[in-house]
Structure 1
Amino acid sequence: MRDLTDINTRSWTVATAPGRLPVLGHAVPLRRAPLEFLTSLSQHGDLVRLDLGRHPAYMVCHKDLVSQVLRDPRTFDWGGPFYEKTKLLMGNTLGNCPYRDHRRMRRLVQPSFRLSRIASYSKVMHDELAAEMDTWRPGGTVELNDTLHAVTARVGAKVLMSTDIAGDAVEQILSCLPIVMDGMYRRVVAPWAGLYRLPTPGNRRFEAARTQLRDLVHGIIAEYRRAGVDHGDLMSGLLSAHDEESDTALTDVEVHDMVMNFLAAATETTATALCWALYELDRNRECERRLHAEADRLAGTDDLSTLTYTRQVINETLRLYPPGWMMTRIVSEDTSLAGHPLPAGTILVYSSYALQRDPRMFPDADRFDPDRWLSDRAAEVPPGAMIPFGSGSRKCIGDNFAMMETVLSLTQIAARWSLRLVPGTKVRAEPRALVAMGPLPMVTHPRRATTRQEAA
């Protein structure tokens, strides 16, 4: 038995979550208000038992326990209900593979996400967003959530594969992806498998889109193999990867799964973060003023190191609305955590959303405050309290890509437009695959600074 907690120097609190119902366990509060429910559990203990129907699980609430889980991916392996459903889209890929497969796959994929290669993608990001903003009109209304998801999906597809080879397939992929993403989410939050075997219109649409998406990507992979040319895109990097330690390359199935993983993550993470950032900037006009001043001062830059306030805004956005609101792990062997025995097969849950809104870690935790990421204040944030992309060996491999696209895109928008929420619009956090939101209609107001630049 392996025990990662130092119970000799720390006293942990283990409790059971309130509100348990017979048979249903804690399914009702998890269904009705999952963000609020998970965030409340740290009040009851450091490790809190949940009953998910017949299956017991434990919510890991304390940052040090979360860190210990993430530092030992062999004992606390990738898995659980959420990851099983992601296989519908991603198969067995870097984002959801078990420990036994992860090291080899990480070594193979890592070169495609080096900073030098990622930097070469910035022009695609700029051009796609610029083309979208060129369609905006002063005083017009843009449904920003759908718009930015469409932009980031196009960016992801063009970064991933050359249109010289993929051609019209890119547009077909982009039309199928939202259908599959929505269907996958529905299966995650309402995992009654029998419902999704019924021949309903929604199920048929999901299966048809999933099949078409799979066939399109496999066809593109085959065409790349035949061409044998490095196009400088992500697909070329994946196909040419070779792991010297195992003397293996990625199979076509593994490349397909990585493509699906990347497209889903590249679309959702950046678009959602941008939406939340622009929503919070509308509510916090002084923050918006400072962002605009930086965008005007550094117009046209692609040097992220100079965009200090923009990065603070994004960090604060990711703190309040992190990509993974609930993550699960599976205990692979009998162990203990917080001095509590956990048999193999136990489900562990942790929430970066709950952790990053803990007032013990972040004073005035629910307030949008980019200045908490000034160097002196950021140094006071306890280690392990801020993990929007995870940590340890399984930290998201695309974190630098996501940060670059989000920071550059926010600067690009700020240089040209002020965005105001349509009066009366209700915006609330919706826990889906990410901490998402519903429609975000915003009125577009051109910036005076942009007008002066264009007049010159």
Structure 2
Amino acid sequence: MTKTNTVPQAPGGLPVVGHAPRLLRNGALELLRSLPAHGDLVGVRLGPLSGTVVCDPELTREMLRHDHIFDKGGPFFGLARELAGANLATCPHEQHRRQRRLVQPAFARDRFPAYGRVMSRRASAVAGDWHSGQVVDVLSDMQRITMSTLMETMFAEELPLPVQRRAIADLSMIFGGSFLHGIVPNRLAWLPGLRKRLIVQAGERLRGDLTAIVRGRRTDGTDHGDLLSALLSSGGKPGAAAPHGPPCGDAGDSFTEAEIADQAMALLGAGTDTTAATLAWALHLLAQHPGVQGRLHTEVDEVLSGGPAHLQHLPYLPLTARIVTETLRLFPPAWLVPRVVVADTVLGGYRMPAGATVFYSPYVVHHRGDLFEHPQRFDPDRWDDSRRPQPPRQAYLPFGAGARRCIGDQFAVREAVLALATIAARWHLHPVAGRPVTAYPGLELRPRGLWLRVTARPDHTPKPTPSPEGPVPPRRR
């Protein structure tokens, strides 16, 4: 039965600005955790923008299944398309099916062995740069791992250093911005202090660099085993170019040069800062929980014997995988994501008029006490298959759900597990006194002020073995 009353509103909104001050400061996550007490759908107000936050996992999945009604639009995705084009991550529903089909070969199973070798080598290189007793800027170093991994898995050869440095700076500008950049209307987004002009300029530079790389690679015609080769194999005729904008529905069976550059923008954005934030949070949690860290050391010692982790080790690293899973539950990078209702509909018994903004929040669902026991507690063993009762899998949404679930979810998880195991094999992590760590709810949920002291493990003997080619049983020390 459809309800005629309006969605209940979250308390604490201020005149004019509504809940924006809380969402833009440290109170954002506290506000989100409080919403389920007010209903399955709860209204919030962000200055001139009003929206509804979906707090129930089943309603969240219903919303994500009907992506033709709850579409990617409004100021947030308008800015995203301005920065990166209408790529797989940002395009509206009508363009998604075609793009998904053309991008899918980049994540085919037979490409992962090559990707995995890069992941292992890059994680080992960064971990090898540390020295015992060093205080490490964790997020920055995790970005070094994920950026270098993406650069090599996407472009095979090393990019010129100036291009790499410019790409890192531009991505930092884009993803280091406040959530406010993506939700305020355009008429307000250019106000002093919002830095939208700098963000747009960073996007234009990065897009220009990627377009030049794509144009140069097209004349090669060789499959380098990288993401760009996979995209080019779905590309149009050499030299073809098209202005950024919507392709013609499902009629096209290939990507234009400009579209490939846009997809590269999406992969760089989704595969660097988000995975780096997940790894940084995981290391922070391990430093705060020495018992779990000790068990992790035992696991990697048995499996790796001091060497780096490879894809073939993954079946033998269940605790490492559970740590990543639990980290994604506690700190999902995509913590609050807007959708726009494109046609009058009903959700959870409430009428949703066309043009309304609806937010889904993995963070809200992941922190519900009725779904997860002690939801604020770091407990990797809640994901142990032998443990009963099991957490509700339908309430675990770090990569979204439905047709628009993140296409690179397995790439991200495998990279995080390999990097975490490789670091744990060599280093013990310690908190640094006097350096408070806070969660910054920007475009992704990232740690601020996270520094850790690393000490070499006494029993560590580095063994940089070549990547194994077959299944690898645990190696007992």
Query: Do these two structures clear the TM 0.5 threshold for a shared fold by scoring above it?
Result: yes
CA RMSD between the two structures: 2.7
Task: Deviation per CA, 1:218-241: give whole Å up to 9, x if none.
Answer: 111110111122111101110111
Aligned to 2:276: 271
Answering whether residue 59 of structure 2 is matched by residue 65 of structure 1, we say: yes
Identity of aligned residues (%): 36
Q: Is the Cα contact below 8 Å between 2:176 and 2:443 reproduced in 1?
A: no
Deviations 1:394-421 (A, max 9, x none): 1000100000100000000000001112
Is the 1:318–1:388 Cα contact (8 Å) retained in structure 2?
yes
Q: Which amino acid aligns with 1:94?
A: L
Residue identity matched to 1:424: G
- Report how far residue 437 of structure 1 moved: 1.0
Partner of 1:144: 138
Partner of 1:216: 209
Gap change, CA 1:128 and 1:165, over 3 Å in 2: closer
Q: Distance in 1 between matches of 2:184 and 2:351?
A: 30
1:16 aligns to what SS in structure 2? coil
Question: Structure 2 CA distance, aligned partners of 1:437 and 1:404?
Answer: 21
Amino acid across the alignment from 1:220: I
Shift of 1:164: 6.3
Q: Structure 2 residue aligned with 1:302, among 303, 306, 311?
A: 311
> How far apart are 1:120 and its partner, in Å?
1.6
Distance 1:117 1:16, change over 3 A: same
Relative distance call for 1:80 and 1:118 in structure 2 (3 A) is farther
How far off its partner does 1:273 sit? Answer: 0.9
1:204–1:67 CA distance, 2 compared to 1 (3 A): closer
Q: What is the aligned counterpart of 1:82 among 76, 88, 97?
A: 76
In structure 1, what is the Cα distance between the partners aligned to 2:290 and 2:83?
40
Q: Structure 1 residues 44, 73: CA separation in 2 closer, same or farther (over 3 Å shift)?
A: same
The offset of 1:206, in angstroms, is: 4.3
Question: For residues 226 and 433 of structure 2, what CA distance do their matches in structure 1 show?
Answer: 42
Q: What is the match of residue 29 of structure 2?
A: 35
2:435 aligned with 1:430, yes or no?
A: no
**How much has 1:18 moved relative to structure 2?**
1.3
TM-score, normalised relative to structure 2: 0.86
Which aligned pairs between 1:209-288 and structure 2 lie closer than 5 A? 209-241=202-234, 246-288=251-293
Deviations 1:250-274 (A, max 9, x none): 1122111111111111111221111
**Contact 1:154 1:174 (8 Å CA) reproduced:** no
Q: Which moved more, 1:75-84 or 1:94-103?
A: 75-84
C-alpha deviation, 1:191, in angstroms: 5.8
Taking a change above 3 Å as real, the CA distance of residues 169 and 29 of structure 1, as seen in their structure-2 partners, is closer
Q: Which residue of 2 aligns with 1:188?
A: 182
* TM-score, structure 1 as length reference: 0.90
Structure 1 portions without partners, runs of 5+: 1-6
Is the contact made by 2:382 and 2:390 (CA closer than 8 Å) also made in structure 1? no
8 Å Cα contact 2:432-2:452 kept in structure 1: yes
CA contact (8 A) 1:88 1:184 kept: no
CA separation of 1:297 and 1:186: change in aligned 2, threshold 3 A = same
CA-CA distance at 1:210 after TM superposition: 3.2
Note if 1:448 corresponds to 2:476.
no
Q: Which amino acid aligns with 2:108?
A: R
- CA distances 1:188-236 after superposition (whole Å, capped 9, x unpaired): 36666556377x9966754553333222111111101111221111011
Which one-letter code corresponds to 1:302 in the other structure?
A: L
Report if aligned partners of 1:65, 1:338 keep a CA contact under 8 Å in 2. yes
2: CA distance, partners of 1:240 / 1:188: 33
**Letter of the aligned partner of 2:61 in structure 1?**
S
CA, structure 1 residues 50+202, in 2 after alignment: closer, same or farther (shift >3 Å)?
A: closer
Aligned counterparts of 2:94 and 2:335: Cα–Cα separation in 1: 25
| Aligned-pair CA distance for 1:385 | 0.7
What SS does the corresponding residue of 1:121 show, helix, strand or coil? helix
Post-superposition CA distance 1:279-317 (Å, at most 9, x none)? 111111111011111111110443212111101111110
Cα 1:387–1:284 shift into 2, 3 Å: same
Q: 1:185 to 1:213 in 2, by over 3 A?
A: farther
Deviations 1:313-365 (A, max 9, x none): 11110000012110111111111111111111111012101110100000111
> Which range moved further: 329-338 or 122-131?
122-131
CA contact (8 A) 1:63 1:385 kept: yes
Q: Does 1:124 align with 2:133?
A: no
State whether structure 2 residue 129 is matched by structure 1 residue 135: yes
Alignment counterpart, residue 405 of structure 2, candidates 378, 382, 395: 395
Letter in 1 for 2:311: D
SS of structure 2 residue aligned to 1:41: helix
CA contact (8 A) 1:76 1:331 kept: yes
Shifted more, 170-179 versus 83-92: the winner is 170-179
Q: Are the structure 2 counterparts of residues 29 and 266 from structure 1 closer, same or farther at C-alpha, using a change threshold of 3 Å?
A: same
Matched letter for residue 336 of structure 2: M
> How many angstroms apart in 2 are the aligned matches of 1:40 and 1:305?
38
In the aligned structure 2, how far is the partner of 1:202 from the partner of 1:35?
23
**Separation in 1 of the partners of 2:344 and 2:294?**
54
